[in-house]
Structure 1
Amino acid sequence: MNLTFRVLAAAVGATLAALIAPPASALPAPGPAATADTTALAAAESIEPPAATPALSWRDCGPGLQCAALPLPTDHAAVGSPRFDLALARFPARDQSRRLGSIVVNPGGPAAILDLLPHLRTQFTDLTEWFDVVLFDPRGLGRSAGISCPTPAPMPLEWAFPSEAAHREYTERSRAFGAGCTAAAGALAGKLDSWQVAHDLDALRAALGESRLRYLGNSYGTVFGQAYLSLFPQRAGRFFLDSVYDHTNRSQRDWVASRAAVTERNLHRFAQWCDRTPSCALHGRDLVRVWTELVARAEQQPIPAPSAVHGGPGTAARIISSTFVDFEREWPRLAEGIAEADAGDAGKLVGVPSIPVETDVNRLINCSDFAYPTGYAEVSRIVADVRATVAPLLGWRHAWVNVLKCTGFPAVKPFAPQPIRPAFRPPSLLADGIHDAVSTVEYGRRLTAQLPGSRHIAVDGAHANYLYGANRCLRDHVHRYLTTGALPPNGTTCPANP
């Protein structure tokens, strides 16, 4: 499940703002990675002359912020299709005399970002030492012809579907939502996939006057980046992709198993934390055993949940759907919920979905790009396989995520997962958190192997380690790469911030 909504919301608060690294005071010194890869990158960036004079008209729209709009076709594959305005914003480089160009940033989601920028300025301060930092609301979101769905997306508390009947009932609710939202999309209906967004990015590159696109994509922003690297390799510049959301794997089973394995490890990390943390509500007890026995009890008879915000008992499926172990900051609350459920009140454990709330349009985009099967029988077979081989306790539930998002949706021509097209392009830099169950290290390494000369960094962290985790080691490598082209050695890792 994409976690960027949870991260974006947290970024607005003071807690996350305190985690952001201070502005870099000087250009990072090149390290030992200034090798032939760097030479190839420099040569590649000189192939094409600069594009024509930019067609963008920037205006002040907040302290240190400028906005513009770029008219684009709703369908890049159809001549004469209706147009919409891609909404843009930029933080100009602080010293224009030292400016190295523009960098386009997509923080992920996919989500509207422009209205949040006054609260997220700090995340981009480092980059403005060298670049104009350009952001955009992806098509169909926010200011970019934002789609208003007539009804909210359904969000079941038992999204690890316990039966075919539950799956069938939810599919009908999802079908009604998808049909209404697709109708509301108008000319953008069926035109929200990453193929279209990659073409939007190429038009933006030209409008910025850049011969090659310099890009930072986080989470779902890496899907847009993968599409661009595949479709426009000759116009790709330096790409940094953080928390890689793999769009190259056609195997739904393998895509699920990678996530499931990380969540299973995180469940055991959660238990280890509880063992060494006296304040944990289950300190001194075998947390995994308590949780496993709780699920087994709930399978026989649901656990009462009188304090649940949304009402209803603690069924086994609801407990499994609500046990979110992939962010350490969730662990104290989760331990309390399990302890109280074990004592007879599952309200704190099952009262809210464990997955972050998404925008409605987010589902239309996801389901255009990740058109994996959603039928009950096929997904159930994947669940059984993953439970038997990778994640017997909790991680297997990832098999149901695409069902949650996409079951029953109107058929569109998908931009389905596919390997990156072989082509010459400058090497990229990629990174993933070793504890991230959505954008796994395995995903990042798979993509890196398809981009010759590129490098991957494994970070001791979870999701979004550059933008929102502000990992200092990672930021140093990223800034060196973006400003000089120097890549770190193979096998580079980054520890957590002290």
Structure 2
Amino acid sequence: MRWVRWLVLGVISAAAFTTVPVGPASADPVEDIPSGLASFYHQQLHWKSCNDTTLDRAGAQCAGVVVPLDYNRPDARTLTVAISRIPATDPARRRGIMLSNPGGPGGPGLGMMADLRDRFTPDVRARYDLIGMDPRGIGRSDRMNCVLPLPTMLFSAGFDAFGYARDASLAAAFAASCLAPDPEKARFITTRNTARDMDVIRGALGEPKINYFGDSYGTYLGAVYTQMFPRHSDRIVLDSALDPDRYWLGAYQDMGPINEAALDDWAIWAAKRDADYHFGRTAPQVRAFVEDMIRRAAAHPVVGSGYLIDEHTVPMMLLSLLSNPRKNPDLAAVVRTISDGVSGLPIDMEQLKAKISGPVPLEAAGMAAVQCGDKAAPRDLGWYQRNIDSVRATQPVFGAFANNITACAFWPDPIEPPTVVRNSTPALILQATRDTRTAYQEGVALHHDLTASRMVTLADTRVHGVLHSDLSRCVNDIVDAYLRDGTLPGADRTCERDPQYRFDY
């Protein structure tokens, strides 16, 4: 704890000598180019190789789009946002551009469309230039850097007041370490500014409107764009949606109960394979094994390859693999590795890291800047502790994460209020009933806020990210019709997963 205390004092002292000019929030630009921004909207882009194997193989080219750091002061400091473009396969049928965001926040999206294009039909790929983007402050877009290089800003608070105090100290240190290097920049890495960047990209590409596909946090970004730029919003697909009114703090709290249910679901699967994994012959025995393993991790933490296995990190490792039942074997392997490690047996830490890393690794610095810059967090440290204590009995594994303190409790107040999303922009919302990252009711809430939207429910499926080539033909056909012809379903729909999408119970 002593090193954390000294780090907090050091980085806060460094930050104290730099002030951040903050002006009043400007009105939302809707139709015409706002005053002072014409040079940004009309800039000439210079396309070149992306120097990325996946993007280069997909035929993509990359460019940098210059945007104001602060849209209230367009003549002051700028950032460069990196974008990629995979051209429409049939110029004769091309109808525009489709921007995208993979989620997070903190997820680089430059290569998203190279992966996502295989989920689209040839008819859709023929019609759109697919645009990937690293949002401001992330990836190649003037990436945020923190003095304290944590792999994540999210931890579980552990079992007692001492564990919570550790996380509160670490959160304070992390916030200070992110603000100290460039406090002005850190304050302007926000969702509203990323939405403004998207509109500049639209202008620089010479398009009257954007089409958009967003996953997870990307649904919030997309919803914010429709609120700020409704006349420039065309066909909008929001997969695994967040409730804008519960972003971000409420969304984490919603993750507690749905991941406890997902762990029970996985425990049923693992119990049927006790001969392979030896966690228990019944689901309650498997859950008891996992909960005991976390306590053993608290007593005997393991450090290696820059990773720490303890009561603060193990729940996050489990959560990372509960988002899809096809990851059940990987989760079993991770549980076995952790259990062996905290029992004193040698383990392969690099292999563990590989299994728990997502396809789009989130940048902790970018996540902190966006979330903390979007919406203020409670400053009362006791508020978090009370919430954690109130759910320990019903959420023994994930409650201490879902209600834990983060760097946002120590971040400066946002430069402008969060966006209230209430509009009639047409959109297609995709939501699985047992999503472990964005609770089903959050998609329902966004559907209510976007009054002209249609919602497609994927029934009885524990999955985050509904659009997959082999998950539900029903879902894919609806998305295809909308992106191809602009046709939304006449009413909300419920789809089933395809028979071939199996995870044997």
For the aligned pair, the TM-score class normalised by the smaller chain equals 0.7 to 0.9
Identity %: 25
Q: Measure the CA separation in 2 of the matches of 1:226 and 1:448.
A: 10
Question: Which structure 2 residues correspond to residues 24-423 of structure 1 after superposition, within 5 A?
Answer: 55-61=43-49, 62-63=56-57, 64-109=59-104, 110-114=106-110, 122=118, 126=122, 127-153=124-150, 159-185=156-182, 187-249=184-246, 252=249, 255-277=251-273, 280-282=276-278, 285-292=281-288, 295=291, 320-324=315-319, 325-335=322-332, 341=339, 345=343, 358-359=362-363, 360-373=365-378, 375-387=380-392, 391-400=394-403, 403-408=405-410, 410-413=411-414, 419-421=420-422, 423=423
Q: Aligned in 2, Cα 1:358/1:349: closer, same or farther, shift over 3 Å?
A: farther
Q: Measure the CA separation in 1 of the matches of 2:478 and 2:153.
A: 41
Q: Counterpart amino acid of 1:466? A: L
Residue matched to 1:473: 474
SS in 1 for 2:256: helix
Residue matched to 2:463: 462
Q: Measure the CA separation in 1 of the matches of 2:144 and 2:294.
A: 40
Q: Measure the CA separation in 1 of the matches of 2:307 and 2:212.
A: 45
Tell whether 2:451 aligns with 1:452. yes
Question: Contact 2:175–2:407 at 8 Å: present in 1 too?
Answer: no
TM-score in terms of structure 1 length = 0.75
Question: Contact 1:458–1:494 at 8 Å: present in 2 too?
Answer: yes
Q: Measure the CA separation in 1 of the matches of 2:202 and 2:375.
A: 26
Q: Counterpart amino acid of 1:477? A: I
Residue matched to 2:491: 490
Cα shift at 1:245: 3.0
Cα shift at 1:235: 2.5
Question: Contact 2:155–2:401 at 8 Å: present in 1 too?
Answer: no
SS in 2 for 1:114: coil
SS in 2 for 1:378: helix
Cα shift at 1:379: 1.6
Question: Contact 2:433–2:457 at 8 Å: present in 1 too?
Answer: yes
Q: Aligned in 2, Cα 1:233/1:278: closer, same or farther, shift over 3 Å?
A: same
Cα shift at 1:333: 4.5
Cα shift at 1:347: 6.5
Q: Aligned in 2, Cα 1:376/1:302: closer, same or farther, shift over 3 Å?
A: same
Question: Contact 1:244–1:439 at 8 Å: present in 2 too?
Answer: yes
Question: Contact 1:108–1:220 at 8 Å: present in 2 too?
Answer: yes
Cα shift at 1:157: 9.9
Q: Counterpart amino acid of 1:450? A: D
Q: Measure the CA separation in 1 of the matches of 2:60 and 2:248.
A: 43
Structure 1: segments with no counterpart, 5+ residues: 1-46
Q: More displaced, 291-300 or 85-94?
A: 291-300
Cα shift at 1:204: 1.7
Q: More displaced, 289-298 or 436-445?
A: 289-298
Q: Aligned in 2, Cα 1:416/1:383: closer, same or farther, shift over 3 Å?
A: farther
Q: Aligned in 2, Cα 1:270/1:90: closer, same or farther, shift over 3 Å?
A: same
Question: Contact 1:141–1:147 at 8 Å: present in 2 too?
Answer: yes
Q: Aligned in 2, Cα 1:301/1:275: closer, same or farther, shift over 3 Å?
A: closer
SS in 1 for 2:180: helix
Q: Measure the CA separation in 2 of the matches of 1:120 and 1:370.
A: 30
Residue matched to 1:442: 441
Q: Measure the CA separation in 2 of the matches of 1:350 and 1:298.
A: 19
Q: Measure the CA separation in 2 of the matches of 1:86 and 1:96.
A: 26
Q: Aligned in 2, Cα 1:484/1:461: closer, same or farther, shift over 3 Å?
A: farther
Question: Contact 1:305–1:311 at 8 Å: present in 2 too?
Answer: no
Question: Contact 2:235–2:486 at 8 Å: present in 1 too?
Answer: yes
Q: Aligned in 2, Cα 1:197/1:250: closer, same or farther, shift over 3 Å?
A: closer
Q: Measure the CA separation in 2 of the matches of 1:212 and 1:176.
A: 42
The number of residues matched between the two structures is 444
